[in-house]
Amino acid sequence: MDGKWTREMIVPTIDHTLLKATATEEQIKMLCAEAKQYGFKAVCVSPYWIPTCAGELAGSEVLITTVIGFPLGANSTEAKADEARRAVAEGAREVDMVINIGRAKMGDWGSAREDIAAVVKASKPAIVKTIIETCYLTQGEKIAACKAAVAAGAAFVMTSTGFGTGGATVEDVLLMKEVVGGAALVKASGGIKTYEDAVAMLEAGASRIGASAGIAIMHEAELLA
């Protein structure tokens, strides 16, 4: 880390995230207010809160990102597609979907790819970020998952839900970026709590950061300026 990453460079990479089961309407509204205040790229919320965010963010440049098949990825493909379609109709502009991890562990990449492709189709014109949940995958499975996401038309591959046994690592971001090349972007999420964490992920090749600690990261960036 060489200090080149300023607050102004980091802030538009952050998806300001609140996915806790206990999230309240007041907390979601605060999330939106913070995103507007700091200039974050997006808020990332559960599908239920999309209409609330749409109202709070009307007229702003902050995008609404939601999660599909979250956090296990074990919903049917039809259910994921229906969930994505409704989310986009209500105002989501980005969809972070969890792959079918069980199919991935079975090596059934055809089904995994079809699962992603169905959500990509249902989400248009919103983009899809594919959560491969790296903590559960071997090196070979991570590579295959990234290839499946690209083949299915996903705009991003994404490390983690933040609800698994581990979050983003520099090693995984480096690998994912190498695999997708210019065909997709990488979002690092899960356990990114500090400015140093965020910079490490960006330098490894991530284009977006999913974090509930976005404000703390910004404060650190300001102190280090």
Whether residue 80 lies inside any domain: the answer is yes
Whether residue 1 lies inside any domain: the answer is no
CA angle 32, 162, 111 (to 5 degrees): 110
pLDDT string in tens for the chain (225-residue length): 445 889 999 999 999 999 999 999 999 999 999 999 999 999 999 999 999 999 999 999 999 999 999 999 999 999 999 999 999 999 999 999 999 999 999 999 999 999 999 999 999 999 999 999 999 999 999 999 999 999 999 999 999 999 999 999 999 999 999 999 999 999 999 999 999 999 999 999 999 999 999 999 999 988 887
Q: Give the CATH number for residue 56.
A: 3.20.20.70
Token code pair at residue 225: 């300026």
Whether residue 11 lies inside any domain: the answer is yes
Distance CA 38, CA 190 (A): 21
Whether residue 2 lies inside any domain: the answer is no
Comparing CA positions, the residue from 78, 98, 172, 91 lying closest to residue 126 is 91
This prediction has a pTM of 0.96
Report the number of distinct structural domains present in the chain. 1
Domain coverage including residue 49: 7-224
Amino acid identity, position 159? T
First to last CA, the chain: 13
DSSP H helices, 61-108, are 77-90, 101-106
Question: Which is it for the CA torsion 214, 37, 12, 120, positive or negative?
Answer: positive
Is the peptide bond preceding residue 12 cis, with omega within 30 degrees of 0?
no
Given a contact cutoff of 8 angstroms between Cβ atoms, the answer to whether 200 and 170 are in contact is yes
